[in-house]
Chain A
Amino acid sequence: MPEIRVTPLGAGQDVGRSCILVSIAGKNVMLDCGMHMGFNDDRRFPDFSYITQNGRLTDFLDCVIISHFHLDHCGALPYFSEMVGYDGPIYMTHPTQAICPILLEDYRKIAVDKKGEANFFTSQMIKDCMKKVVAVHLHQTVQVDDELEIKAYYAGHVLGAAMFQIKVGSESVVYTGDYNMTPDRHLGAAWIDKCRPNLLITESTYATTIRDSKRCRERDFLKKVHETVERGGKVLIPVFALGRAQELCILLETFWERMNLKVPIYFSTGLTEKANHYYKLFIPWTNQKIRKTFVQRNMFEFKHIKAFDRAFADNPGPMVVFATPGMLHAGQSLQIFRKWAGNEKNMVIMPGYCVQGTVGHKILSGQRKLEMEGRQVLEVKMQVEYMSFSAHADAKGIMQLVGQAEPESVLLVHGEAKKMEFLKQKIEQELRVSCYMPANGETVTLPTSLSIPVGISLGLLKREMAQGLLPEAKKPRLLHGTLIMKDSNFRLVSSEQALKELGLAEHQLRFTCRVHLHDTRKEQETALRVYSHLKSILKDHCVQHLPDGSVTVESILIQAAAPSEDPGTKVLLVSWTYQDEELGSFLTSLLKKGLPQAPS
């Protein structure tokens, strides 16, 4: 029995460190190779020794697929390929390929240069690792080898995020990565066709949430920014360099354009600037509006948003600044925050979740006096706003995607166990699809039905089609033919052709049967009686009385004979070929019941 085996090395009932092993029809594929943000020791990377104890990874894995550039999906890649050792192909989309090394490099810098970690991957390793990457286009079917093929679908979420279909023969698995079912200001919604995979591996970050429309949040955000700058206040928006930052930039840029505002908007240089460059390049990956207006103007070539300089923070008058990092724990955003915190006209908008212990978390939870280093106390008079923009599908979105793809079963990853439980129950209840949620290291085995393709000759198919009058789509139908197995492929041909091909002579197989009838009349008369009897019953068939006294029904021959010993009984000889077996046996059973009494 063929089967699909799935083992999460990360992201099993957990968020972060996505890494899932899939074995499908003898092929082994690793989906994502992420790191965990919460750990600084060995636990931050998946346990690759699980895959193989002493062999080389390259021998075991056929390919690695990276869904998008977030570090919890690609952060362990250099470690995996260069330090553990993997030389096979790594597949990702073009934008991911472009942005991924930047983020890895940034991450490496923080880990090595700032925290002083040893035994970490080097810049060179990142470069070497990226050399193994094969970039794919959306909806492009890539043949990894003769049997294994993969195909990318649009996933929204971040620039270049993709869902991947992995297919071997007739078995297939879809891995969603992270995706978003509602469009935002710069990206579209995830979409997949009815590919009916055996298994759909989906993220479930918001398994227990049904979200409100995005419009209210956007409107609130814009209104707040607008009001503040109109009052002459300054707005600080701490963001991470990629993803939300671009969405908010587009949002503000279009609003500024629409409302004809002149207040300057700045974003911090460095990573954001670089990232914007890539967004400019990968227009086909963005949403409808940006794609359509691209001919007139590239939306990412901001008119109103300029690069930030340290000195601008002290400028008088209103302004809006996007600064990194997003949780106000260090860097530029914290510096600006310190400068502006004292003025109640100013505002800080936190567009995302903040980890405990950061300044961002403190101010969000309402703390108004912050202790900074050097025993300074910073009094926060500026307004603090929270605005969540998240790019994951909610429970409804997940269900919608499952409905679109129509998989045989679903496997949940990238979510909390408790929340998964709920969604699992819902999927099984409402979609009637079996659902799994393995923990890390736990293997799910999924039996699949093996389908064997058989080639059919066109002549035979046309002949059969001509017989059936009404079209009956997708219904099984009986078909006579000969199955030829040759060189490990199967062909269905008509029997004549099979004989010809195999060089065999046709043998006729005839069944004969004697039926004893109690009849005192002459043979001819008996035959005549049989004829009229059959004629009255078998109205659709061609029943004939031949001059030599025998009766034929189609190709079945019936002869009446009188055995010498008993004149009271007649023997009917019924003979038919193998092909007419059905009719033949029906006739014999009919005749065995005897003839009806002749009307006297």
Chain B
Amino acid sequence: AKLHLKKIKKKRENFRSYFLYPSQQQQEEIATKKLRLTKPSKSAALHIDLCKATSPADALQYLLQFARKPVEAESVEGVVRILLEHYYKENDPSVRLKIASLLGLLSKTTGFSPDCIMDDAINILQNEKSHQVLAQLLDTLLAIGTKLPENQAIQMRLVDVACKHLTDTSHGVRNKCLQLLGNLGSLEKTVTKDAEGLATRDVQKIIGDYFSDQDPRVRTAAIKAMLQLHERGLKLHQTIYNQACKLLSDDYEQVRSAAVQLIWVVSQLYPESIVPIPSSNEEIRLVDDAFGKICHMVSDGSWVVRVQAAKLLGSMEQVSSHFLEQTLDKKLMSDLRRKRTAHERAKELYSSGEFSSGRKWGDDAPKEEVDTGAVNLIESGACGAFVHGLEDEMYEVRIAAVEALCMLAQSSPSFAEKCLDFLVDMFNDEIEEVRLQSIHTMRKISNNITLREDQLDTVLAVLEDSSRDIREALHELLCCTNVSTKEGIHLALVELLKNLTKYPTDRDSIWKCLKFLGSRHPTLVLPLVPELLSTHPFFDTAEPDMDDPAYIAVLVLIFNAAKTCPTMPALFSDHTFRHYAYLRDSLSHLVPALRLPGRKLVSSAVSSTIISQEDPSQQFLQQSLERVYSLQHLDPQGAQELLEFTIRDLQRLGELQSELAGVADFSATYLRCQLLLIKALQEKLWNVAAPLYLKQSDLASAAAKQIMEETYKMEFMYSGVENKQVVIIHHMRLQAKALQLIVTARTTRGCGMFLSKMYFITDLPHLQDSFVDKLLDLMPRLMTSKPAEVVKILQTMLRQSAFLHLPLPEQIHKASATIIEPAGESDNPLRFTSGLVVSLDVDATLEHVQDPQNTVKVQVLYPDGQAQMIHPKPADFRNPGPGRHRLITQVYLSHTAWTEPCQVEVRLLLSYNSSARIPKCPWMEGGEVSPQVETSIEGTIPFSKPVKVYIMPKPARR
């Protein structure tokens, strides 16, 4: 040991003389400067600590403490020097290991170029004996190498070091070497020989040699390194394919799992190459061969490999259809006789016209004898891979298989048709996640398929599922499903109505589903109409109840079918027409406009084609908005009236036309702001002396406050608002602020006005012919004039400023939320012991909310005015469709004791942060106004109807 120590000491001295003296001797000035730079307090402290350390355990403690704090880029080098110095002194491998790992961490510091410590690292690597430390040092080198991706020479050098240590006896070291090769191995095959004489190496060959290493961990690392090369853009040789195939039968699962990936990669690189089939003269395409091999891995012993294989199958689209279809084929046999699968039997039953006969004993009796020689029990090919995958014990594998099915079916319509039966079967899986996944999959491929009646039957059976997610997913699926027969439609309707009676909350979803079902299958609905409406050729039947959701559901189906089927209205009875008119008005998003014979309808006059039928409402919107912009020329009274009824029109339009609801609401809100502003300015109070109108001033300031609120709503509650609109909104807010300022200035005699003077100017955008414009013109005057004058100026400016045209954005949607649960109708109070908590399930749907995880909050208002804000967990949000979210969370309530049960209010809030939205205004930077103001305004907007929950905290019993 003494000898060893001496050696190390000597080496350290050598090292010092090599690294430190040259700089000191040759460049004295620079060296001193460097000394100052490289020895900041941090490294010095570390140095002192390390010197103080009496035992390795102590040193380790210091290092651990040191590692907790980040190091700035400029002091990294100094720290590294100290660490290296200590490294040479250290005998304990664990401390050296820690130092090595610290070196790696430090070299990752941004802004630090680690090429200066590479020589040291390689140097200490060569003298290191401990395998663990060696592995760690290689890791450090990897960190250095990845930090310097451009430096070819360094990469070559590192690769060289890695190759040298590949023969190490420790798997850890070999692992790291391979990792290094994978990450840094040169990509160009013909790199010219380096000046230092480092021969370029065929990295692929070197890594490939380690595919047969004795240690499974090294084998895995070798495959991973190969995959890494591929990821970095190196084209792998085709020869690797055979090597990888051998690894598929490895004893260790991680090797097999990695090998499956490698095979997949090669199959994507050389799909069309031809490979021979062993033990026969035939040859097949490489991608087919790989597909077969990966399929075989779907029945591997380890589920990790199975998941991996099933996942990869989905992305092998180049595979021939012949092989693809084999994956669903499992040749059944019973007692050596060929047997048909239940799927085949169902199909046959269906095509023979005998539907759903009860199964008889011996119904599945096997038919023809099987040639014993021809049966192949373990096909090398793809046979039945998905059949196995979908039946797997682990749900992870099943989900992966369903996903793969989905991807393959999307690219191949014929395969989609074939896999249908299997997907339908998955609707009955025991794990909900799998069921949901398979329903979604089915929806995605529904363009390619038509459901047979027996399949539809199975699909519809799931409608009774108690999980809302499943039912809704199924409704979505039915929206885009093709049904082949009228019985199918009837069946679907019956099941949906059953669903409706069982789960009334599904009403909207079911109506929507029937709307699409009707509009997709008009000809199939036609023969069903008399039965559905229960009309009779001779007798008048009783008029159904218009409020019955089931009846509405039927009507939605029929009316949507009638849209493209002009003969249908002839079958309607009188009351049906009346109901149509009513529904067209009340549920306009579900009931389309129809051309009805002999009836004068607004739509019949306008619309002749389907496409133009949306235009009138759009036109109406445009017209009414344009009318408003002539406001300027009207007297105040007329302007107010015009605004009032335009707002009313817009609101009504929004209710009727769901597509235009966003736009209509948005513009209505804007107009309301304007209306409020006009009203506030119309107040007589402006002419009265200040002390007199003091009590009335409420109205103006209230108006200002409301305008502010409305502008926040406009800014944050709508999705699709562009910068153009934001500017206008801000302008409106500015006016509101000005109004506020005037009011406060007049009432409180100028106090505080100078404080508030600055802040409203801050978010001024540039606009022409507006309040801002005028304000800017008068800015110099404002700055110098007295408070009373400022108020006067502002007031006249407000009066004179033009009403700005609000350009409508293309797509605008109002964020909205509906609380489904709690329903708020219960008379039974929720009882709990005061002081303790009670949990309340909240279930809500959110529409058009961007980033709900961060913005949506739940508010609970207690009767005593106490309000509580709850942030739901990100995991509580689900995303069932574009623009839609669902919040399912638990809210914890607690309160001190009450004597009577009382109601608390639960509602959803949308929180906003205005700093995120403020547009930059270029003129401000050079302007005279200092930007030192609060820029972010946080707040919340309630966006759901509050729900009342009856609760009763009881005093605790003693």
Q: Are A259 and B464 in contact (CB under 8 A)?
A: yes
Q: Are A259 and B376 in contact (CB under 8 A)?
A: no
A400 nearest CB neighbor, chain B only: B299
B338 nearest CB neighbor, chain A only: A210
Q: Looking at the complex, which of B41-49, B385-393, B810-818, B851-859 is the stretch in contact with chain A?
A: B385-393
Q: Which of B614-670 contact A (CB under 8 A)?
A: none
Minimal beta-carbon separation of A154 from chain B (angstroms): 10
Complex CA–CA separation, A218 to B378 (angstroms): 26
Cβ of A257 under 8 Å from chain B: yes
Complex CA–CA separation, A419 to B335 (angstroms): 7
Q: Looking at the complex, which of A10-18, A50-58, A382-390, A520-528 is the stretch in contact with chain B?
A: A382-390
Cβ of A211 under 8 Å from chain B: yes
Complex CA–CA separation, A223 to B346 (angstroms): 14
List chain B residues, Cβ under 8 A from A480: none
List chain A residues, Cβ under 8 A from B506: none
Cβ of A369 under 8 Å from chain B: no
B342 nearest CB neighbor, chain A only: A216
List chain B residues, Cβ under 8 A from A220: 342, 359
Complex CA–CA separation, A212 to B372 (angstroms): 19
List chain A residues, Cβ under 8 A from B430: 185, 254, 289
Q: Are A287 and B378 in contact (CB under 8 A)?
A: no
Count: A-B pairs, CB below 8 Å: 134
Q: Are A470 and B394 in contact (CB under 8 A)?
A: no
Given the interface contacts A217-B342, A289-B431, does A426 sit within 8 Å of B390 by beta carbon? no
Cβ of A183 under 8 Å from chain B: yes
Q: Are A258 and B466 in contact (CB under 8 A)?
A: yes
Q: Which of A194, A254, A431 has the most B CB atoms < 10 Å from its CB?
A: A194
Question: Using an 8 Å CB-CB cutoff, how does the interface string of A418-457 with B read, 1 for contact, 0 for none?
Answer: 0100100110001100000000000000000000000000
Cβ of B682 under 8 Å from chain A: no
Given the interface contacts A189-B393, A471-B210, does A216 sit within 8 Å of B464 by beta carbon? no
Q: Are A208 and B377 in contact (CB under 8 A)?
A: no
Please count how many residues in chain B sit with their CB below 8 Å of the partner chain's CB atoms. 53
Q: Which of A169-194 contact B (CB under 8 A)?
A: 182-183, 185, 188-189, 191-194
List chain B residues, Cβ under 8 A from A383: 358
List chain A residues, Cβ under 8 A from B467: 258
Given the interface contacts A208-B336, A404-B301, does A399 sit within 8 Å of B378 by beta carbon? yes
Cβ of B375 under 8 Å from chain A: yes
Cβ of B923 under 8 Å from chain A: no
Cβ of A366 under 8 Å from chain B: yes
Q: Are A213 and B377 in contact (CB under 8 A)?
A: no
Complex CA–CA separation, A423 to B826 (angstroms): 66
Q: Which of B664-714 contact A (CB under 8 A)?
A: none
Q: Are A219 and B458 in contact (CB under 8 A)?
A: yes
Cβ of A135 under 8 Å from chain B: no
Minimal beta-carbon separation of A394 from chain B (angstroms): 9
Given the interface contacts A365-B361, A419-B335, A473-B213, does A212 sit within 8 Å of B341 by beta carbon? yes
List chain A residues, Cβ under 8 A from B915: none
Cβ of B608 under 8 Å from chain A: no
Cβ of B118 under 8 Å from chain A: no
Q: Which of B187-227 contact A (CB under 8 A)?
A: 209-210, 212-214, 218
Minimal beta-carbon separation of B439 from chain A (angstroms): 14
Cβ of A472 under 8 Å from chain B: yes
Q: Which of B598-619 contact A (CB under 8 A)?
A: none
Q: Which of B210, B336, B392 has the most A CB atoms < 10 Å from its CB?
A: B336
Q: Are A182 and B336 in contact (CB under 8 A)?
A: no
Cβ of A111 under 8 Å from chain B: no
List chain B residues, Cβ under 8 A from A385: 358-359
Complex CA–CA separation, A214 to B332 (angstroms): 13
Question: Using an 8 Å CB-CB cutoff, how does the interface string of A470-510 with B read, 1 for contact, 0 for none?
Answer: 11111000000000000000000000000000000000000
Contact of B393 among A224, A287, A472, A474 (CB under 8 A): A287
Cβ of B243 under 8 Å from chain A: no
Q: Which of A354-400 contact B (CB under 8 A)?
A: 364-366, 383-387, 395-396, 399-400
Q: Are A426 and B377 in contact (CB under 8 A)?
A: yes
Q: Which of A96-147 contact B (CB under 8 A)?
A: none
Q: Which of B391, B395, B467 has the most A CB atoms < 10 Å from its CB?
A: B391
Q: Are A210 and B333 in contact (CB under 8 A)?
A: yes
B358 nearest CB neighbor, chain A only: A383
List chain B residues, Cβ under 8 A from A466: 169
Q: Are A213 and B425 in contact (CB under 8 A)?
A: yes
Cβ of A462 under 8 Å from chain B: yes
Q: Which of B169, B428, B430 has the most A CB atoms < 10 Å from its CB?
A: B430
Cβ of B749 under 8 Å from chain A: no
B340 nearest CB neighbor, chain A only: A212
Complex CA–CA separation, A364 to B395 (angstroms): 36
Minimal beta-carbon separation of A451 from chain B (angstroms): 18
Complex CA–CA separation, A384 to B362 (angstroms): 12
Complex CA–CA separation, A116 to B761 (angstroms): 106
Minimal beta-carbon separation of A158 from chain B (angstroms): 16
Minimal beta-carbon separation of A28 from chain B (angstroms): 31
Complex CA–CA separation, A155 to B553 (angstroms): 51
Complex CA–CA separation, A386 to B331 (angstroms): 23
Question: Using an 8 Å CB-CB cutoff, how does the interface string of B306-337 with A read, 1 for contact, 0 for none?
Answer: 00000000000000000000000011111110
Given the interface contacts A259-B466, A260-B502, A365-B361, does A218 sit within 8 Å of B392 by beta carbon? no
Complex CA–CA separation, A227 to B387 (angstroms): 28
Minimal beta-carbon separation of A367 from chain B (angstroms): 11
List chain B residues, Cβ under 8 A from A259: 464-466
Cβ of A209 under 8 Å from chain B: yes
Q: Which of A403, A404, A425, A472 has the most B CB atoms < 10 Å from its CB?
A: A403
Question: Using an 8 Å CB-CB cutoff, how does the interface string of A264-277 with B read, 1 for contact, 0 for none?
Answer: 00000000000000
Q: Are A213 and B393 in contact (CB under 8 A)?
A: no
Cβ of B343 under 8 Å from chain A: yes
List chain B residues, Cβ under 8 A from A569: none
List chain A residues, Cβ under 8 A from B394: 288
Complex CA–CA separation, A365 to B372 (angstroms): 29
Given the interface contacts A222-B428, A257-B466, does A209 sit within 8 Å of B334 by beta carbon? yes
Complex CA–CA separation, A135 to B333 (angstroms): 39
Q: Which of B26-70 contact A (CB under 8 A)?
A: none
A223 nearest CB neighbor, chain B only: B461
Complex CA–CA separation, A92 to B384 (angstroms): 35
A230 nearest CB neighbor, chain B only: B498
Minimal beta-carbon separation of B134 from chain A (angstroms): 16
Q: Which of B752-805 contact A (CB under 8 A)?
A: none
Cβ of A598 under 8 Å from chain B: no
Minimal beta-carbon separation of B341 from chain A (angstroms): 5
Q: Are A395 and B391 in contact (CB under 8 A)?
A: no
Q: Are B358 and A213 in contact (CB under 8 A)?
A: no
Q: Are A183 and B336 in contact (CB under 8 A)?
A: no
Minimal beta-carbon separation of A300 from chain B (angstroms): 14
Q: Are B391 and A182 in contact (CB under 8 A)?
A: yes
Minimal beta-carbon separation of B472 from chain A (angstroms): 15
Q: Are B212 and A473 in contact (CB under 8 A)?
A: yes
Q: Are A194 and B301 in contact (CB under 8 A)?
A: yes
Cβ of A541 under 8 Å from chain B: no
Complex CA–CA separation, A419 to B334 (angstroms): 11
Given the interface contacts A260-B466, A430-B378, does A471 sit within 8 Å of B212 by beta carbon? yes
Complex CA–CA separation, A499 to B923 (angstroms): 96
Cβ of A37 under 8 Å from chain B: no
Q: Are A193 and B212 in contact (CB under 8 A)?
A: no
Cβ of A330 under 8 Å from chain B: no
Complex CA–CA separation, A222 to B430 (angstroms): 13
Known: A185-B430, A260-B464, A462-B169. 19 other contacts (CB 8 A): A183-B392, A188-B393, A194-B251, A208-B333, A209-B333, A210-B331, A210-B377, A212-B332, A213-B342, A216-B341, A219-B428, A223-B458, A223-B461, A258-B465, A258-B466, A259-B466, A430-B378, A473-B213, A473-B214
Q: What are 27 A-B residue pairs whose CB atoms fall within 8 Å in the complex?
A: A192-B301, A208-B334, A212-B339, A213-B342, A213-B422, A213-B425, A215-B390, A215-B425, A215-B429, A216-B341, A223-B461, A254-B430, A258-B466, A288-B393, A386-B360, A395-B333, A395-B377, A396-B377, A403-B378, A404-B301, A425-B372, A426-B377, A430-B377, A430-B378, A465-B169, A466-B169, A473-B212
